[in-house]
Structure 1
Amino acid sequence: MARAADLAGAAQLMLVDGVSYLDPEPAVFEAMLEGWTKQQRSRFLNWDSTIKPRLSLVRRFAEFTNQYPWQWQPAEVEAFIDHLRAKTPTFTVSSGRGYQNHLRLFCEYITDARYGWMNVCQERFGQVPVQILHEWNTVTHVSEYEGDPSRRPLTYDEIQALFDAADGRVEEIRKRGRKGALAAMRDSALLKSYYAYGMRRRESVQLDVADLRRNPKAPQYGRHGAMFVRYGKSSKGSPPKRRTIFTVP
């Protein structure tokens, strides 16, 4: 088993030995956040989409409670989620679960004995952090789909109207003799590609002409028988996944 000093984000690496902080509570809290950042970076998690939102939520929760992590109790997180639901009627179940998971991960980090934060808090403040989220105060994932039931997919007529509007924009720009027809044509083709191949935005914008492939089982499509996606949605800490989408009539 790795020693605490060997782990990225360990308390011994975040705090300077022998230093007496003038304001120790915020200093230790900031050291915890910095250590958690390093621990997540060592797992190759993305800064913008994963680490930064997690840090922001922890700070937001600390501001709501007006307490430091070694003072938190389950009642604080329950009051926080209840406050969010009351303040924001559109606060969804999936959002609540995401908030709870992020806070639980932070508590797992600071309560893991290998990182040494419990010893630091005990020595400096006479209190230790605890896990404040458990099965009785977290959302249970019982349904595969948790989206808004009022949302529905477009009908074929609505999709055709959308494509017609995109094509009409190209003709309108051409008739006015203005710049932008090529960009509008690009947008129209990209919109249709989204629909035809079911790609995400990031997958589409990273495409190249070379990503068009042949499909031996559909030779009539030539080099347009398949689309090779190189920047598929990745798992946390993993590189983008690759996949091939076949062209179908």
Structure 2
Amino acid sequence: MVHLDPASAVFKAMLEGWETQQRARFLKAGGTIKPRLDLVRRFAEYTNQYPWQWEPAEVEAFIVSLSIAPSTARNYQNCLRMFCEFVTDARYGWPAKCLDIFGAVPRQILHEANTISHVTDYEGNPGRRPLSYDEVQALFDASDGRVEEIQSRHRKGALTAMRDSAMLKVIYAFGLRRQEAVGLDVADWRHNPKVPAFGRFGGVFVRWGKSTNGSPPRRRTVFTVAEFDWIVPVMEHYLEEVRPLLAPGKHPAMWVTERCGRISRRRLNRTFGLVRDLAGLPSELDLHALRHSFVTHLVEFDYPEKFVQDQCGHSWGSTTAIYTGVSDEYRNRLVQRALRERHPDLWKDQP
């Protein structure tokens, strides 16, 4: 069979082959593969050319034309580089086929001289940071105040506002990511025999941790720490008095909507933004800032680094360090402690 448009047919087959290669690695179809394919199509549309015609200057012009952050630009470059690696790999036969049909072969158009180097651990918005203790309190006060305001006006929404308040407190008290929070079920709470006073809320079993390189979601148990023991009565109140009134039926989700469904990540983001604005906090702070706050405050409570790392579900301690933004007061305490240990005579007359 002869294609009327062999160029578009070959390009389509290249994309399908690359998609199959990624599916064989069990990468996420919607979260990883589709955005990559869309980017390659977008670049092809920008150049109005096919992969065997692409030149380095074209990808450079494409990146320059975009108003994106350096980290996003590097992700785009890595994606296009991986596609070029696929179509230039002789094991898949595309160089020979393109030479036979078009008289040209694909080549790698991204190299060290036209790609962004990864030189810092964190490249995000500098405005994103852990919340201070006062800011966390202000956030929770605004969340609770929202419930009281709705109740005082005799309006609908008091139950969902109570749910939202408990949900934000759980995210902070256990350092949860968005997907981990929305994926929580009632059955995920765990007893901790070492702390019987916490009852069924001695810890939470996280089943929807961040997956990497096509692996399934990683699991972990996050223990309730003594400094966050206030979460126990919060959860008792929510499960015994609030959630039943939402009429969840047999739905297993911890956070259910008015229509007996699981709350979405988008709604979770919207809820945080609403409460953040009510608290008068900077707009740069997002939901993930609560996870950064959880890590930072555990460090300031003097928990061991490995314990904090395990609580977060990080494979590497360096990742946990990126999340940490301890206060000047904490660092001063460390310096003072070290000086007391090294020069105890200098501190005899001071408390």
**TM-score category of the 2 structures, normalised to the smaller one:** 0.7 to 0.9
User: How many angstroms apart in 1 are the aligned matches of 2:143 and 2:210?
Assistant: 27
Q: Does 2:219 correspond to 1:242?
A: yes
In structure 1, distance between residues paired with 2:159 and 2:123:
39
Equivalence map 1:106-145=2 (5 Å):
106-145=83-122
Question: Where does residue 158 of structure 1 map in the other structure?
Answer: 135
5 Å matches for 1:1-249?
19-84=1-66, 88=67, 91-248=68-225, 249=227
| Cα deviation 1:131-171 (Å, max 9, x = unaligned) | 11122221111111111223333222222111111111222
Structure 1 residue 98: Cα displacement: 0.4
Report SS of the residue matched to 2:98: helix
C-alpha distance in 2 between matches for 1:238 and 1:142: 27
Distance, in Å, in 2 between the alignment partners of 1:197 and 1:152 is 17
User: Could you tell me how far apart the structure 2 residues matched to 1:54 and 1:101 are?
Assistant: 10
**Equivalent residue letter for 2:29:** W
CA distance in 1, matches of 2:126, 2:167: 28
Number of residue-to-residue matches in the alignment: 226
Worse overlay, 74-83 or 103-112: 74-83
* Offset of residue 208 of structure 1: 1.4
The residue type equivalent to 1:47 in the other structure is A
Instruction: For residue 142 of structure 1, give the secondary structure of its aligned residue in structure 2.
Output: coil
**Whole-angstrom CA distance in 1 between matches of 2:76 and 2:195:** 46
Q: Which amino acid aligns with 1:229?
A: V
- Give secondary structure in 2 for the equivalent of 1:241: coil
Moved over 6 A (4+): none
Q: For 1:227, what is the secondary structure of its paired residue?
A: strand
Query: In angstroms, what is the RMSD of aligned CA positions?
Result: 1.4
Alpha-carbon displacement from aligned partner over 1:97-142 (angstroms, at most 9, x marks no partner): 1001110111111111111111110111001111111222211111
Which deviates further from its counterpart, 173-182 or 238-247? 173-182
**Aligned letter for 1:74?**
P
Partner residue of 2:303? none
Unmatched segments (≥5 aa) in structure 2: 228-351
Give identity over the alignment, percent. 68
SS of corresponding position for 1:223 = helix
- TM-score for the superposition, normalised by structure 2: 0.62
The letter of the residue matching 1:241 is R
User: Given the two structures, how large is their TM-score scaled by the length of structure 1?
Assistant: 0.86
CA positional deviation for 1:191: 0.6
Could you tell me how far apart the structure 1 residues matched to 2:56 and 2:195 are?
Answer: 58
* Structure 1 unaligned residues grouped into runs of 5+: 1-18
